[in-house]
Structure 1
Amino acid sequence: MLYIFDLGNVIVDIDFNRVLGVWSDLGRVPLATLQSRFTLGESFQRHERGEISDEDFATQVCDELGLALGFEQFAAGWQAVFVSVRPEVVQLMNRLRARGDRVVILSNTNRLHTEFWPEEFPEVKSAADRIYLSQDMGMRKPEARIYQQVLQEEGVTADQAIFFDDNADNIAAARALGIHSVQVTDANVVPAFFADRV
């Protein structure tokens, strides 16, 4: 069986309010103002597909938010999104691999984050057989083609895969392709799913 895990809020807790908090402090803009302006819009999606550089993305976001930040300041805030690993999920990933299952990560992400989290959380990287990243693939969830490419490269059919993600749109897209999909609404969902399976 192929197990496909999203990264954020599935294996690692993330919180964009932490990002905005750092930017608020560095840019001297009230947090509430940034919260009211911040959206994961077109520039965010293009960045995740690798269509624009980190520097261009930083400029666009700062313009949208009315922030005057240097690139290093922007990056410091952007990395603050990562809170902590969910160790019970990492343990489950390792147990699945130990019994012969294939375990991969499929993440909508960007260059800045992928230069950070593998070093910050090496146990996550070592728990996966392969890591599929949107910015390397030129596509992002919930686009059907990203799931199809993972299945093709892993050499399995949709009914041989189980997918875990916190985003309802991503789950719906995977289900539409016939992939058994589990929406991770809190930290208990993945351990509960495997309670009588591993």
Structure 2
Amino acid sequence: MIRNIIFDFGDVFINLDKAIIFKEIEKFGGTSKLSPKLQKANNLFEVGRMTTADFIDTLKAVYPKASKQEIKTIWNAMLLDFPDYRLRFLEELAKEEKYSLFLLSNTNALHIAHVRKIMGTKKYERFKNCFKRFYLSHEINMRKPNTNIYEFVLAQNKLKAEETLFIDDTSENTEAASTLGIHCWNIQVGKEDIIQLKTKL
């Protein structure tokens, strides 16, 4: 029986356009994917081991034609809207008190600041208050798909893997969680929606 649900954030609740970064950065000499150097910087940024200023400086060194503000704007452009119907669904689920709800997101300080801005403080707090615990990778210094992040959430909250469902749009993340015995739903963006959750329970 599922008693706990761990949710990803991007493309589960808030819509993303992951490709737009590369489309926009091409204007400044970028390519269709991150170089190994920038991928490493992004991973460090997501686990809080690089400051926003240092991350922007790293990108600026690779794309000198772009201003620091243009880089920030491009990096945040992937964050789209958070449909109200999804928040209402989550709030109703939380009110039922049938499941313990958790958020587990790979993110960074730059993106979270922008999410707060586009959602507005009131809506962001409504969202956050639905969860028993709210885990952001840059705050807990771990990121998916490394299994230690799932072990951390299970241990800190005394959860049993077999009673836990993890929902994420990235198959690499759900595959890693499943090795620990966690039930997983690799949600298919554009074909499935989080409001279909109860059909998976």
- TM norm. shorter chain > 0.5: yes
Q: How many corresponding residue pairs? A: 190
Q: Distance in 2 between the 1:151 and 1:173 partners?
A: 14
CA contact (8 A) 2:22 2:32 kept: no
Q: CA deviation at 1:189?
A: 4.1
Q: Distance in 1 between the 2:200 and 2:143 partners?
A: 32
Q: Distance in 2 between the 1:97 and 1:72 partners?
A: 38
CA contact (8 A) 1:90 1:127 kept: no
The residue aligned with 1:54 is 52
Q: CA deviation at 1:57?
A: 1.3
1:79 partner letter: N
Q: CA deviation at 1:87?
A: 3.5
1:10 partner letter: V
The residue aligned with 2:134 is 131
Q: Distance in 2 between the 1:139 and 1:61 partners?
A: 22
Determine which of 152, 172, 175 is the counterpart of 2:175.
172
1:134 partner letter: S
Q: Distance in 2 between the 1:62 and 1:88 partners?
A: 38
Go from structure 1 to structure 2 and tell me whether the alpha carbon gap of 1:184 and 1:35 turns closer, same or farther (over 3 Å shift).
Answer: farther
Go from structure 1 to structure 2 and tell me whether the alpha carbon gap of 1:155 and 1:75 turns closer, same or farther (over 3 Å shift).
Answer: same
Q: Distance in 1 between the 2:31 and 2:25 partners?
A: 11
1:48 partner letter: E
Go from structure 1 to structure 2 and tell me whether the alpha carbon gap of 1:156 and 1:196 turns closer, same or farther (over 3 Å shift).
Answer: closer
2:67 partner letter: G
- The reply on whether 1:34 has 2:36 as its aligned counterpart is no
Unaligned runs of 5+ residues in structure 2 are none
1:76 partner letter: T
TM-score (norm 1): 0.84
- The reply on whether 1:105 has 2:109 as its aligned counterpart is no
Q: CA deviation at 1:136?
A: 0.8
1:36 partner letter: S
Q: Secondary structure at the match of 2:165?
A: strand
- The reply on whether 1:193 has 2:197 as its aligned counterpart is yes
Q: Distance in 2 between the 1:163 and 1:72 partners?
A: 36
Runs of 4+ in 1 over 4 A off after TM superposition: 20-24
1:47 partner letter: F
Q: Distance in 1 between the 2:16 and 2:113 partners?
A: 16
- Percent identity reads 24
The residue aligned with 2:77 is 80
Q: Distance in 2 between the 1:69 and 1:148 partners?
A: 40
Query: What is the root-mean-square deviation in Å for CA atoms of aligned residues?
Result: 2.3
The residue aligned with 1:10 is 12
- The worse-fitting range, judged by mean Cα deviation, of 5-14 and 124-133 is 124-133
Unaligned runs of 5+ residues in structure 1 are none
Go from structure 1 to structure 2 and tell me whether the alpha carbon gap of 1:154 and 1:89 turns closer, same or farther (over 3 Å shift).
Answer: farther
